[in-house]
Chain A
């Protein structure tokens, strides 16, 4: 998550050498050709797989036909596809779902690992702590396919554990087909996300907590602060800088929160009204319905918002980082 705080210009200072004894650039370049050969192939790969697609977004302003070979041989149509998206009935549904799902993931998924880290920190039995950590980290390493398979097994109508439990507790009379009912989808999606990432997300906060000076707790308990007060008055304020940075970055990545979970958990088309977000919409209209230009326009719309969010987030994070650390 913190990847985007890297500054490209931070270390560029001396690389261009002293202008006084500046040799011919060509001679210098070929003098270090072995070094250049280490980076040039990789840069070509980055150019091909990242920059050519950036150039390819121009088809959002064209009527791209499948047959036409290069990106630019199709007729230009201006903002037609953007207007079509804004006017289409899908726009409201897709935007609502994207915003709601992103915010739910942020509001519930962001504090959850912090709370877990605070709780784990209070555990004095090392074995218990290790076991909880080992188990809660595990889902992070499972693919969404596997996680989705487990969720659908848990929620299945034919003897899924959740339905069995609810029936035993007499909460419900008949099994509920959770994964085909739109009113449950957001809850299932967010719960599964938290379930998968809560343990792994807590690592960073545990590390931050480990850096707190233990004398502060001793002093606090001398002064009569109970454990809850110590959490509230020492632990939380001490990890606040890390929390702030991660919150800012999470907001920056708000729209890039991933779509695999939705593709997996909403494989039932009946859920489309609540599950369709920008990313899944692009895949459906673009890859499945061959509306390449339209889908590219939708994707570009999202990319522009994301760049804006990221740039603001990184700017704020760097400012906050300087003032806090």
Chain B
């Protein structure tokens, strides 16, 4: 590269790229930063405008109201529970399934695989699924978050590919030592599958935490709503309130507790609370997701 001196055109290109990427990074980061700033700024002060890069009237009032709000905190707990239970059970169930599917001697494997792959092409659609969930009695049940998403066909294929890549000798020696298939899976194979388990767990956990649509159609009981769904309701009512000046009663009640907050400052604080877990796992996600994406897209 150093053989040829940077030409004028090359330097222009470099300047353009750096400028463009700086603007892109800024415009990606700014909305997050602005939301954080507003969540730490006094609500009434924010309405006067001009709060952009730094809080003008710093306060923790917004957060203290959010953390005292039973509905939101309950939603937070529901989200945590569904993320933990949903991730562990889905990864475990999918790993067991994939291990079975990775065995060449499994009878009917070809038909099982066709059965799985067909679901990637065609689905019954929303309404038949909705009617099924209803007739199974999963409406207004916590398990609607867990059971239908227990087995992921795509994750099964990734797991299976990984299991096949493990040295066959390990499993053989386990068999000779008297391990059955289940024993081999739990004592030998899974302990060796750290990276793939971590990658898939992180993606599953993020998906569980971010998911809000299921609850919006299957759950009407307030105490089972995850925080994302509650936040969606709050934000939607805020957008409409820009025109109609109408606000949902929960937000109104919370506002009356303290005169300095507004629905906007509260929404931002709630948004931050709903984002904290993602930001906390993000470093780990970053470590694994490049691997995960590549496994997911290029492996087969």
The chain A residues found within 8 Å of chain B, CB to CB, are 1-6, 8-9, 12, 14-16, 25, 28-29, 32, 34-36, 38-39, 41-43, 45-57, 59, 69, 71, 116, 119-120, 122-123, 128, 131-132, 134-139, 141-146, 148-154, 156-159, 161, 164, 177, 179-180, 195, 198-200, 203-204, 207, 217-218, 221-222, 224, 226-228, 242, 246, 260, 263-264, 267-268, 279, 282-283, 286-287, 292, 295-296, 299-300, 302-303, 307, 310-311
Contacts and interface: CB of A to CB of B under 8 A. Distances in A.
B195 interface: no
A267 B96 CA distance: 41
A137 B286 contact: yes
A6 B297 CA distance: 11
Interchain residue pairs A-B with the least CB separation, the first 8: A53-B124, A56-B128, A38-B100, A143-B210, A299-B125, A42-B97, A12-B110, A159-B49
Interface in B274-300: 274-275, 278, 282, 285-286, 289-290, 293-294, 296-298, 300
Interface residues of B, number: 114
A137 B112 CA distance: 36
Given A148-B232, A303-B125, 10 more contacts: A3-B154, A49-B147, A56-B132, A71-B128, A131-B25, A143-B211, A153-B38, A198-B24, A204-B294, A228-B13
A50 B124 contact: yes
Interface of B: 1, 3-4, 7, 9-10, 13-14, 17-18, 20-21, 24-25, 27-32, 34-35, 38, 46-52, 93-94, 96-97, 99-101, 103-107, 109-110, 112-117, 119-132, 135-136, 147-148, 150-151, 153-154, 156-157, 180-182, 185, 206, 209-213, 217, 228-229, 231-232, 235-236, 238-240, 242-243, 264, 267-268, 271, 274-275, 278, 282, 285-286, 289-290, 293-294, 296-298, 300
A145 B231 contact: yes
B122 A307 contact: yes
Contact of B34 (A6, A42, A139, A161): A161
A151 B18 CA distance: 25
B31 A221 contact: no
A156 B260 CA distance: 20
B interface secondary structure, majority: helix
Nearest to B51: A159
A25 B132 contact: no
Nearest to A296: B127
Given A131-B25, A157-B242, A39 B106 contact: yes
Contacts of B300: 2, 5-6
B242 A180 contact: yes
A282 B49 contact: no
Contacts of B117: 6, 8
B211 A36 contact: no
A227 B274 CA distance: 44
A311 B121 contact: yes
A191 to B, nearest CB: 10
A248 to B, nearest CB: 13
Given A52-B124, A292-B131, A119 B113 contact: no
A309 to B, nearest CB: 10
Given A153-B264, A292-B131, A54 B124 contact: yes
Contacts of B282: 138, 141
7 contacts: A8-B116, A9-B110, A9-B114, A47-B115, A49-B148, A138-B28, A227-B14
